[in-house]
């Protein structure tokens, strides 16, 4: 029999109740729609039970505060059972002080404005330019004196040229240091000592970070070992009082140490004083040098009594005839006094004044005019500047990849110790500028904000278990 396929017969095969029957897929869908909300509720319930409040938080905490991620109340103080939307200064101050910037500032700025939170693992110290320019765009209106530039918006907008290289009242700024080093002369090929070979000095032969050991290529161990009657601090100019010292622990590599005669000059510039001796005088105050000379000559004449017979130089007189050599017999005391006076004329008028300003009774010692043998000269204080830019932080260590002369360009050409060889703002701006291809240029990179020496000690109120469980 032939199969008859009518539409009606076909239609009768379809089960009109098919959608009411459960299928595996449908069972899964139903299950999920009940399970997921239940899971979510259970999760929240579990978080609540565990007092984990991060679920309400608007973002991850910065690294320094990561341990507080569950402890909203540490910063959002609870008032009448409700967490404050703002982070309270008082909460921050219960863990660490943030001493006020300059007491003359009139505006109050909340801690949280600069130290923003919930932005992920950001640098909490990265205050924006606007945080600073809210006052520095018009410093006078915000309590400032006229000591500083009035309107600074960013490092590239309104930031003044650095004071050390800024002309003051029409005159060029000068280095107050008195050691007469001629950089240009020493950076060319130069003789090592009166009869030594030609050498090429490097900046690092004389300059080094304060924490690094001195390079001894041109040093003299004897002078390094000797103690001096002048103190290291006598040479240094005091750092300006009103500047804010950096808070971070110093590595001792930020600044260069003051240059020392013993480590940087001694093996080329000998302090020899008399043909009877190879050694040099101590590198110290003239009184010490004088006492040393008297002792040395007294010891010498005791060991060589025959030397009291002195033959004067048979120099030619004006008539062109050689005079008879004049022979004198001196007492040992006279001999010591004469030799000492001669040595001192050489030292004060030739050796020491090559590097120093010497004066007697206020008048400077001069190579042409002999000094009275009875009075000792005074060596001018070195007046070495330790911190050239006291209102900013600078760290040589962070710039070790760059040659010294890329910032201190004049060091190859400067002939006077009074020249200031510090870089100006344009040098810094070649690298410290906005944009991803540049080094950081927001204010916090180079400046200290808080007056850290005025910091108050905090008595801690949080303990570890409390931190873990979200309460005090
Ligand atoms: C270390 C301190 C600190 C802790 C701990 C902290 N916050 Fe904040 N929170 C802040 C700061 C700072 C702001 C910025 C707002 C302001 O100006 O005060 C802020 C802002 C907020 C805001 C407002 C939205 C916003 O981003 O401005 C919410 C919501 C918030 N926090 C929730 C939480 C929750 C929930 C927790 C606990 C899981 C928490 N916070 C823990 C410091 C903290
Ligand atoms: C429960 C204690 C606690 C509270 C509250 C707290 N902090 Fe801190 N904070 C710390 C600890 C711990 C560190 C890490 C150690 C340090 O650098 O002193 C830290 C570090 C910091 C740092 C330095 C970060 C860095 O990268 O060096 C800043 C800035 C800071 N906190 C600001 C704030 C501000 C602003 C508030 C208030 C909104 C606040 N803190 C609230 C404990 C706290
Ligand atoms: C105008 C912006 C600004 C304000 C307001 C501010 N800070 Fe700071 N804070 C900074 C800058 C910039 C630094 C980094 C330079 C420094 O150490 O001074 C810093 C550093 C810190 C540090 C880091 C210390 C470390 O370990 O190096 C702490 C802690 C701190 N501030 C706490 C506070 C507290 C607490 C308040 C509120 C009383 C506050 N700050 C207000 C800008 C600000
Ligand atoms: C609340 C206002 C205010 C804010 C915000 C502020 N400053 Fe100042 N700043 C002052 C005042 C006032 C002086 C002191 C001026 C004076 O003595 O004449 C000053 C002086 C300075 C000085 C020169 C003196 C010194 O400390 O060496 C620097 C640098 C400085 N601020 C940097 C900053 C930086 C960086 C920021 C941002 C992190 C900042 N300031 C934010 C008000 C402010
Ligand atoms: C022979 C030792 C010697 C060498 C080599 C030397 N310096 Fe100096 N430098 C000194 C002495 C001494 C002073 C202090 C006297 C002065 O202010 O000129 C000084 C001072 C400085 C100062 C601070 C004073 C100012 O006026 O700016 C800078 C910067 C400096 N040197 C950079 C350099 C650089 C860069 C080089 C290499 C290109 C270099 N120096 C090579 C001995 C040396
Ligand atoms: C490598 C050897 C060497 C070293 C190291 C050296 N000098 Fe010299 N210095 C010389 C020579 C050579 C002369 C040239 C002597 C001359 O022509 O009278 C000289 C000349 C000078 C002059 C006279 C410059 C002038 O313009 O006439 C001064 C000042 C001076 N040196 C200071 C120093 C000081 C300070 C140091 C250590 C910080 C130092 N020197 C390190 C070799 C050296
Ligand atoms: C080649 C250069 C050079 C010669 C020559 C030199 N000095 Fe110095 N002198 C220095 C340098 C560099 C310093 C800086 C600090 C140090 O070395 O202790 C210094 C520092 C001093 C100081 C300490 C100054 C202060 O600020 O307190 C005295 C004192 C001194 N010298 C005395 C002498 C006497 C005396 C002579 C001659 C016998 C002499 N110096 C020769 C380079 C020289
Ligand atoms: C790349 C480093 C750097 C950056 C970024 C920077 N400064 Fe400076 N700033 C300096 C140096 C260096 C000085 C010179 C310090 C001195 O003379 O003692 C200075 C000087 C200052 C002074 C004293 C000005 C005067 O009249 O002599 C103020 C105020 C100041 N900066 C504020 C700011 C502010 C605000 C910002 C951000 C908008 C900022 N600085 C960004 C390096 C920087
Ligand atoms: C990125 C620029 C830069 C480079 C590179 C650099 N300096 Fe400096 N240097 C400075 C600045 C800025 C100061 C002023 C710092 C201060 O005292 O506030 C300074 C200060 C100095 C001083 C005076 C003492 C002191 O530390 O304050 C000497 C000496 C010096 N530099 C030598 C060197 C030598 C040597 C090198 C190479 C090894 C070098 N500098 C590389 C920027 C630079
Ligand atoms: C050749 C490029 C270059 C020049 C020029 C330069 N810097 Fe930098 N500076 C850097 C780099 C790179 C860093 C490290 C990375 C960063 O912080 O972005 C840095 C870091 C710094 C820091 C932070 C140091 C720290 O503690 O981490 C300060 C402050 C600074 N520079 C100041 C200056 C000043 C002031 C000048 C001008 C005298 C200057 N820089 C010139 C490239 C430069």
Q: Summarize pLDDT for 72-104 with one digit per residue, the tens.
A: 889 998 888 888 888 999 999 999 999 999 988
Q: How far is the CA of 299 from the centre of ligand 5 (A)?
A: 40
pLDDT grade, residue 40 (50/70/90)?
low
CB 441 within 8 A of CB 126: no
- Cα 2 to Cα 4: distance, rounded to the nearest angstrom: 6
pLDDT grade, residue 1 (50/70/90)?
very low
Those residues whose C-beta lies under 8 Å from the C-beta of residue 396, and which sit 6 or more positions away, are 209, 253, 254, 255, 256
Q: What is the pLDDT of residue 470?
A: 44
Write out the two tokens for 37: 């909300």
Q: How far is the CA of 449 from the centre of ligand 3 (A)?
A: 7
pLDDT for 409-455, tens place per residue?
999 999 999 999 999 999 999 999 999 999 999 999 999 999 998 99
- Cα 371 to Cα 335: distance, rounded to the nearest angstrom: 19
Rounded to 5°, the CA angle 130-131-133 comes to 55
Percent over 90 (pLDDT), the chain: 63
Among 85-89, 255-259, 323-327, top mean pLDDT goes to 255-259
Q: How far is the CA of 344 from the centre of ligand 7 (A)?
A: 15
Give ligand 1 pocket residues (Cβ under 6 A). Answer: 53-54, 56-58, 65, 68-69, 71-72, 74-76, 85-87, 112, 116-118
- Cα 163 to Cα 388: distance, rounded to the nearest angstrom: 9
* CA-nearest residue, atom 21 of ligand 7: 284
Using the predicted structure, report yes or no on whether residue 20 has a pLDDT greater than 80: no
- Cα 328 to Cα 312: distance, rounded to the nearest angstrom: 8
From the CA of 127, give the closest atom in ligand 4: 38
pLDDT for 336-395, tens place per residue?
999 999 999 999 999 999 999 999 988 999 998 888 888 999 999 999 999 999 999 999
Separation of first and last alpha carbons in the chain: 91
pLDDT grade, residue 170 (50/70/90)?
confident
Closest CA to 350 of 284, 269, 278: 269
Q: How far is the CA of 392 from the centre of ligand 8 (A)?
A: 6
Using the predicted structure, report yes or no on whether residue 30 has a pLDDT greater than 70: no
From the CA of 74, give the closest atom in ligand 2: 5
Which residue's structure tokens are 């004067």?
312
Those residues whose C-beta lies under 8 Å from the C-beta of residue 49, and which sit 6 or more positions away, are none
Write out the two tokens for 105: 């500032």
Q: What is the pLDDT of residue 137?
A: 97
Tell me how crowded residue 444 is: count the other CB atoms within 10 A of its CB: 18
Those residues whose C-beta lies under 8 Å from the C-beta of residue 106, and which sit 6 or more positions away, are 142, 143
Ligand 2 pocket residue status of 75, Cβ below 6 Å: yes
- Cα 247 to Cα 419: distance, rounded to the nearest angstrom: 31
pLDDT grade, residue 471 (50/70/90)?
very low
Q: How far is the CA of 154 from the centre of ligand 8 (A)?
A: 9
- Cα 457 to Cα 30: distance, rounded to the nearest angstrom: 61
Identify which of 391, 398, 445 to mutate to test ligand 10's pocket (most ligand atoms within 8 A of the CB): 398
Identify which of 133, 152, 240, 387 to mutate to test ligand 8's pocket (most ligand atoms within 8 A of the CB): 152
Q: What is the pLDDT of residue 166?
A: 94
Q: How far is the CA of 16 from the centre of ligand 5 (A)?
A: 100
Q: What is the pLDDT of residue 445?
A: 97
């Amino acid at each position: 029999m032939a199969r008859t396929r009518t539409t009606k017969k076909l239609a009768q095969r379809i089960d009109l109740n098919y959608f009411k029957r459960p299928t595996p897929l449908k069972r899964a869908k139903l299950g999920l729609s009940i399970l997921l909300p239940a899971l979510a509720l259970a999760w929240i319930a579990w978080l609540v039970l565990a007092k984990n409040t991060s679920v309400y938080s608007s973002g991850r905490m910065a690294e320094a505060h990561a341990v507080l991620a569950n402890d909203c109340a540490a910063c959002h103080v609870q008032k009448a059972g409700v967490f404050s939307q703002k982070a309270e200064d008082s909460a921050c101050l219960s863990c660490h002080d943030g001493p006020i910037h300059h007491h003359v500032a009139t505006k109050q700025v909340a801690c949280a404005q600069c130290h923003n939170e919930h932005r992920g693992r950001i640098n909490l110290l990265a205050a924006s330019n606007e945080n600073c320019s809210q006052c520095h765009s018009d410093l006078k209106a915000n309590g400032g004196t006229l000591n500083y530039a009035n309107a600074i918006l960013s490092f590239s907008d309104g930031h003044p040229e650095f004071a050390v290289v800024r002309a003051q009242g029409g005159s060029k700024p000068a280095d107050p240091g008195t050691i007469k080093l001629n950089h240009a002369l020493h950076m060319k090929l130069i003789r090592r000592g009166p009869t030594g070979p030609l050498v090429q000095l490097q900046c690092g032969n004389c300059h080094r970070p304060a924490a690094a050991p001195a390079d001894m290529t041109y040093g003299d161990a004897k002078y390094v070992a000797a103690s001096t009657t002048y103190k290291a601090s006598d040479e240094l100019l005091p750092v300006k009082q009103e500047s804010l010292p950096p808070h971070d622990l110093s590595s001792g590599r930020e600044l260069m140490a003051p240059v020392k005669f013993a480590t940087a000059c001694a093996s080329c510039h000998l302090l020899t004083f008399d043909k009877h001796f190879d050694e040099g005088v101590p590198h110290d105050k003239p009184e010490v040098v004088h006492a040393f000379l008297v002792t040395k000559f007294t010891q010498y004449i005791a060991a060589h009594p025959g030397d009291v017979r002195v033959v004067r130089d048979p120099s030619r007189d004006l008539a062109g005839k050689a005079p008879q050599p004049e022979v004198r017999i001196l007492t040992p005391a006279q001999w010591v006094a004469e030799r000492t006076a001669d040595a001192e004329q050489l030292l004060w008028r030739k050796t020491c004044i090559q590097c120093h300003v010497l004066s007697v009774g206020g008048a400077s010692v001069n190579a042409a005019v002999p000094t009275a043998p009875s009075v000792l000269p005074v060596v001018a204080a070195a007046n070495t500047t330790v911190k050239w830019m006291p209102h900013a932080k600078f760290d040589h260590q962070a710039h070790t990849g760059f040659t010294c002369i890329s910032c201190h360009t004049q060091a190859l050409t400067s002939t006077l110790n009074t020249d200031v060889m510090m870089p100006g703002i344009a040098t810094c701006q070649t690298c410290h500028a906005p944009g991803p291809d540049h080094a950081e240029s927001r204010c916090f990179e180079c400046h200290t904000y808080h007056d850290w020496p005025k910091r108050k000690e905090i008595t801690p109120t949080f303990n570890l278990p409390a931190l873990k469980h979200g309460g005090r």
